[in-house]
Amino acid sequence: MSYAQHQTLAEEITQDVFVKIFKAAGRFRGQSQISTWVYRITVNTSINYLKSKKGELRESKLIEIESIKQVKDFEHPGILLERKEDSKIFFRALNNLGENQKMAFILCFIEGLPRKKAADIMEISLKAMESLLQRAKGNLRRQLSLMYPERRKTNK
């Protein structure tokens, strides 16, 4: 799950998720797919965990390039550094979105879930999901254009 942008955080959250699933398994009513139920637990656990650790996380916001993209061939260290910086800027903009926009964007565009499944996880309609995604993309574009003013001219 892309809420945790550090491997150690992701591992801690994953452990918490598995414990919660184990404890709640008997209460699963089958009103949704089990994968939707697990995603909902994962999203809620991630949000709650990150809120509780917010102060600690501000100091450690570096994102490992390996968590964004697996590098299979040698690439110049300067290119890797630029990608790392791009990732930091992107996730800074993503973290500035409202919670629902951020969740919708992560589920659909980073996790690659179909929009209907993401809507089920968020317990909203497909139309509401489409609206959240449109607003999220627009807000990300605006924020990134402010963070990357030099790219506005070259990417038009």
Q: Determine contact, residues 100/75, Cβ cutoff 8 Å.
A: no
Quote the pLDDT of residue 27: 84
Let me know whether 39 and 98 are in one domain.
no
Residue 50: give the domain boundaries: 1-62
Let me know whether 107 and 35 are in one domain.
no
Q: pLDDT, tens digit, for every residue of 52-75?
A: 776 554 444 434 434 444 444 455
Give domain status of residue 69, yes or no. no
Let me know whether 92 and 52 are in one domain.
no
Quote the pLDDT of residue 149: 67
Give domain status of residue 68, yes or no. no
How many independent structural domains does the chain possess? 2
User: In CATH, what number is assigned to the domain containing residue 16?
Assistant: 1.10.1740.10
Q: pLDDT, tens digit, for every residue of 62-115?
A: 344 344 444 444 555 556 566 667 777 888 888 889 999 999 999 999 889 999
- Mean pLDDT confidence for 115-136: 94
Per the confidence metrics, is the pTM higher than 0.75? no
Let me know whether 57 and 91 are in one domain.
no
